[in-house]
Chains A and B, each alone.
Chain A
């Protein structure tokens, strides 16, 4: 998977867990929490949905890697590619 494809995976999850938010102007290099109303439970949702939908595990020590779309793609792309 490319990093852009992984970004889309994360975006699809965010669209489900934050259904009131407009994601069309999301900047991929800015922290998600600075652009969206996301709390710690929402981040746990992202982790849970990565696990459920894609079998990807994100240990608690790595949660900060999901801060922005860019950092998420950087961190998750090798994990997705290691699966295939």
Chain B
């Protein structure tokens, strides 16, 4: 069966260090991180990546009040992506447009807020908000986006832990190839910094980063790494079948080339390097490529002591003889944006097709020998000889792995 080629035609994002692709990319090439301290309910000041986009750019004040942060981030990213794609909303076939948004979790923030609210009223549930259910349904971020844009095609979220950003793109490509929709808005988002539960959970797991300098706290591959910096963020793309994009002479960022999603089936939280390597290999095979054809590998590494080593083991086994493969990490700049991570991290690398620059992994003062992969780009960007394919890893709890490959668009 010959599958349609699917291309990326628009990008909208908000990250802790940028609210447009240009700003984000510029900061990645210039070593500018975006981590700060925030006051987390019950826990006090903690490190986090916070987005500083203007919600009122695309929402009314009432929409912001009634909706969720995840919905607001989704709307911002969707509107930015659509504008970037050059497709006017009033000409979009809204019933043939799909919205597929990956998220790590949804509903924790809103449920915690309501419990906190009723705690002020002696836990009397008659003070519980009538907005609780529309705010916490799992499709909330996609549903709010469909409401804001008036899109009437399928709109739902994809729950895939921290692999979710890649899953949004992969699912959208599949739906386009199946002919279910003609235009897709897809990627991943996260509002996780607004739930204390995520912070408390990682802290109880001894996996929460600490550092006196917030901007140095997220340090994958460094010997002194001590855990995750939790971030919010979002990145949504517009995807189209190649023939449709070409018919309207769209700008094309790259082509969805291959992917794989698999499961460890081995532990609730511990990663499995064998399954990760399998995921990477299968994605390369799915793309019809070899490891030597991959010129940038964006790692999932979250700066946990064990997780980074295991991903490096997986990558080392696949990219053993690949002198032109560069390996980097975006979490060192923005922390772990959870459901948005995969989508944001891919976006940060896509401009490399045009400028051949590879952004580095920052905050590596003392490289852990167990993470010393050949091709690791440390602290400063490098100029690549060529960038024809980017491989993007995103892994999540309960052992879900996703690898997505985007290649330079060649007609």
Chain A residues within 8 Å of B, Cβ to Cβ: 17-20, 41, 44-45, 48, 51-52
Contact between chains at B127 and A19 (CB < 8 Å):
no
Contact between chains at A19 and B61 (CB < 8 Å):
yes
The verdict on B66 contacting chain A, using a C-beta distance below 8 Å, is yes
Q: Which residues on A sit within 8 Å (CB–CB) of B268?
A: none
Q: Which residues on A sit within 8 Å (CB–CB) of B116?
A: none
Q: Which residues on A sit within 8 Å (CB–CB) of B129?
A: 48
- Smallest CB gap from A57: residue in B: B126
Contact between chains at B121 and A20 (CB < 8 Å):
no
**A20–B60 CA distance with the chains assembled, in angstroms:** 7
**A19–B61 CA distance with the chains assembled, in angstroms:** 6
Contact between chains at A52 and B61 (CB < 8 Å):
no
For residue A80, give the distance in angstroms from its CB to the closest CB of chain B. 19
Q: Which residues on A sit within 8 Å (CB–CB) of B61?
A: 19-20
Scan residues 60-116 of chain B and give those whose CB is less than 8 A from a CB of chain A.
60-62, 65-66
Contact between chains at A41 and B131 (CB < 8 Å):
yes
Q: A51-B126, A52-B121 are in contact. Are A19 and B65 (CB under 8 A)?
A: yes
The verdict on B248 contacting chain A, using a C-beta distance below 8 Å, is no
Contact between chains at B62 and A20 (CB < 8 Å):
yes
- Smallest CB gap from B131: residue in A: A41
Q: Which residues on B sit within 8 Å (CB–CB) of A19?
A: 61-62, 65
The verdict on B130 contacting chain A, using a C-beta distance below 8 Å, is yes
Q: Which of B62, B127, B131 has the most CB of A within 10 A?
A: B62
Q: What are 9 sample pairs from A and B whose C-beta atoms fall under 8 A apart?
A: A17-B62, A19-B62, A20-B60, A20-B62, A41-B66, A41-B130, A45-B130, A48-B127, A52-B121
Q: Which residues on B sit within 8 Å (CB–CB) of A18?
A: 62
For residue B260, give the distance in angstroms from its CB to the closest CB of chain A. 43
Q: A20-B60, A52-B121 are in contact. Are A44 and B130 (CB under 8 A)?
A: yes
- Smallest CB gap from B128: residue in A: A48
**A62–B193 CA distance with the chains assembled, in angstroms:** 41
**A51–B117 CA distance with the chains assembled, in angstroms:** 13
For residue A59, give the distance in angstroms from its CB to the closest CB of chain B. 12
For residue B56, give the distance in angstroms from its CB to the closest CB of chain A. 10
Contact between chains at B126 and A17 (CB < 8 Å):
no
**A13–B66 CA distance with the chains assembled, in angstroms:** 15
Q: Which residues on A sit within 8 Å (CB–CB) of B65?
A: 17, 19
**A18–B129 CA distance with the chains assembled, in angstroms:** 16
Q: Which residues on B sit within 8 Å (CB–CB) of A44?
A: 130
**A17–B61 CA distance with the chains assembled, in angstroms:** 9
**A19–B65 CA distance with the chains assembled, in angstroms:** 9
For residue A1, give the distance in angstroms from its CB to the closest CB of chain B. 23
Contact between chains at A52 and B66 (CB < 8 Å):
no
Beyond the given A20-B60, A20-B61, A41-B130, could you list 5 further A-B residue pairs with CB under 8 A, ordered by the A residue number? Answer: A19-B65, A20-B62, A44-B130, A51-B127, A52-B127
Q: Which residues on A sit within 8 Å (CB–CB) of B131?
A: 41
Q: Which residues on B sit within 8 Å (CB–CB) of A20?
A: 60-62
For residue B275, give the distance in angstroms from its CB to the closest CB of chain A. 45
Q: Which residues on A sit within 8 Å (CB–CB) of B60?
A: 20
Closest 3 CB pairs of A and B: A19-B61, A44-B130, A20-B60
Q: Which residues on B sit within 8 Å (CB–CB) of A52?
A: 121, 127
Q: Which residues on B sit within 8 Å (CB–CB) of A51?
A: 126-127
**A48–B65 CA distance with the chains assembled, in angstroms:** 15
Q: Which residues on A sit within 8 Å (CB–CB) of B126?
A: 51
Q: Which residues on A sit within 8 Å (CB–CB) of B62?
A: 17-20
For residue B70, give the distance in angstroms from its CB to the closest CB of chain A. 19
**A20–B56 CA distance with the chains assembled, in angstroms:** 11
**A51–B62 CA distance with the chains assembled, in angstroms:** 21
For residue B268, give the distance in angstroms from its CB to the closest CB of chain A. 38
